[in-house]
Amino acid sequence: MKLYQLFQTCSGVTTDSRHCPEGSLFMALKGESFDGNAFAAQALNDGCAYAVIDEPRYAVEGDSRYILVEDSLDALQQLAHYHRRQMGTKVIGITGTNGKTTTKELMATVLSQSYNVIYTLGNLNNHIGVPLTLLRLTKAHDFAIIEMGANHPGEINTLATIADPDYG
């Protein structure tokens, strides 16, 4: 997976062109009122090593820092799933109607007493937050506690496919 090889050379992943840590991988996502592709050049100028885009018109010819994919969100999710499998970390999935964030925080507190634990920050438990959490995994982590929330039918299935939890 070419994108994974590039990811491994980067300092991290960002989807926000206003926050571009030096050497990071910028994933140009689209929302209801924005198109991350339009900010790819800015992200590269501000320190990102690469920009993953899904609109060819935003690439600068001859600049290999632009990585063109069919769908940036899909690429982010596939990258996260692949990375999760490479790390070998035990993943605990947390879902439900109420209490997900509290349960995640309690589990992280308890497990952190004996293990190196990574967990979903705040309630970033959607189709973007889950992949971003998984992409923070390192081989040093013993457990990843992934909170998964839904705002439409079928979303938990998608998130569970990305996170591929061992427990939960």
Instruction: Inform me whether the pLDDT recorded for 143 exceeds 90.
Output: yes
Per-residue pLDDT of 11-47, as tens digits, reads 999 999 999 999 999 999 999 999 999 999 999 999 9
Per-residue pLDDT of 61-99, as tens digits, reads 999 999 999 999 999 999 999 999 999 999 999 999 999
SS3 string, the chain, reads CHHHHHHHCCCCEECCCCCCCCCCEEECCECCCCEHHHHHHHHHHCCCCEEEECCHHHCCCCCCCEEECCCHHHHHHHHHHHHHHHHCCEEEEECCCCCHHHHHHHHHHHHCCCCCEEECCCCCCCCCHHHHHHCCCCCCCCEEEEECCCCCCCHHHHHHHHHCCCEC
- What CATH topology corresponds to 2-70? 3.40.1390
Instruction: Inform me whether the pLDDT recorded for 1 exceeds 90.
Output: no
Mean pLDDT of 138-166: 96
Mean pLDDT of 129-146: 98
Domain with CATH 3.40.1390.10 in the chain: 2-70
- State the pLDDT confidence band at 122, using cuts at 50, 70 and 90: confident
pLDDT the model gives residue 128? 97
